[in-house]
């Protein structure tokens, strides 16, 4: 909820495709390609982070945003149509709320494109040459992220992550 809102704001700053056009010269990513991209990663957001554990496809998240602190527990799943979804119960001061958030993925010439469903726009999630501003750079190995006391890495540490994860 709150964390995914911050995520959408950060993604909007990335290079976007006009309208809802599918990026030219791309194909839907396979479930395996998507799995390798997200497995055992901590996705750093502006107001928190979400963790995709490969065992049982467990998803957890913690955010501290405009609407206060919240946390989530659930699962992350991948479809044959190139989507990765979080299906989780979000816990806030006001109670527990189920939510499902999905992202479509395409790949072409080494670049990965992502779009939040249903109304997002396609943007470059990871450039073929692995640029510093890529959203994919915010996918940090859980083992590396867990070494940090507060779960956040410095920019230099995050840059050590492979651009082709």
Q: The pTM is what?
A: 0.78
What is the average per-residue pLDDT within 44-65?
95
Cis geometry, peptide bond prior to residue 118 (ω within 30 degrees of 0): yes
Say what the pLDDT of residue 76 is: 98
Do residues 115 and 123 make contact, with C-beta atoms less than 8 angstroms apart? yes
Q: How far apart are CA 165 and CA 156, in angstroms?
A: 16
Which secondary structure element, helix H or strand E, spans residue 101, and what is its range?
A: strand 95-108
Q: What is the pLDDT of residues 62-114, one digit of tens each?
A: 999 888 999 999 999 999 999 999 999 999 999 999 999 999 999 999 999 99
Output the 3-class SS for 28-88: ECCHHHHHHHHCCEEEEECCEEEEEECHHHEEEEEEEECCEEEEEEEEEEECCCCEEEEEE
| Intra-chain end-to-end CA distance of the chain, in Å | 26
Q: What is the pLDDT of residues 6-38, one digit of tens each?
A: 454 444 444 555 556 899 999 999 999 999 999
- Taking all residues of the chain, what is their mean pLDDT, rounded to a whole number? 84
């Amino acid at each position: 909820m709150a964390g995914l809102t911050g995520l959408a704001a950060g993604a909007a700053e990335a290079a976007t495709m006009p309208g809802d056009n599918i990026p030219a010269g791309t194909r839907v990513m396979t479930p395996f390609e998507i799995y390798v991209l997200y497995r055992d990663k901590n996705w750093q957001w502006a107001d928190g982070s979400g963790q995709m554990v490969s065992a049982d496809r467990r998803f957890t998240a913690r955010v501290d945003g405009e609407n206060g602190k919240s946390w989530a527990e659930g699962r992350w799943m991948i479809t044959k149509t190139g989507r990765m979804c979080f299906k989780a119960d979000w816990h806030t001061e006001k109670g527990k709320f189920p939510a499902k958030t999905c992202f479509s993925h395409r790949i072409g010439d080494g670049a990965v494109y992502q779009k939040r469903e249903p109304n997002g726009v396609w943007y470059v999630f990871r450039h073929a040459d692995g640029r510093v501003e890529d959203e994919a750079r915010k996918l940090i190995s859980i083992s590396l992220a867990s070494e940090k006391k507060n779960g956040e890495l410095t920019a230099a540490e995050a840059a050590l992550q492979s651009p082709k994860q």
